[in-house]
Amino acid sequence: MTEDMVMSIGAEAIKTTIYLAGPLLFAAMAVGIVVSVLQAVTQINEATLTFIPKMIAIIIVLAIMAPWMLEVMKHYAASVMTQAGEFVK
């Protein structure tokens, strides 16, 4: 196993992680910003107010994006398994 192979696997793992976490993090960030603006406008300073809308947004995005996320994970796992023979050399 060469350094190039390790770097390739690491880069692919990081890219896959970003692809999988990106939509969920973006949804949580967008809902957080909207709720924060609403809190600033209405002067309601409740720290727990953002929790429920973020959770609902994450559940909705996860339900919508789950097939795509599973396909990305399946593709990554298949590519690692097909290269497993080269890792031993």
Q: What is the 3-state secondary structure (H, E, C) of 57-89?
A: HHHHHHHHHHHHHHHHHHHHHHHHHHCHHHHHC
Q: Could you list the mean pLDDT of each consecutive 10-residue stretch along the chain, which spans 89 residues?
A: 85 95 96 92 84 94 96 94 80
Predicted pLDDT at 1: 73
Amino acid identity of residue 20, one-letter, is: L
Predicted pLDDT at 25: 96
Predicted pLDDT at 57: 95
| pTM score, whole prediction | 0.79
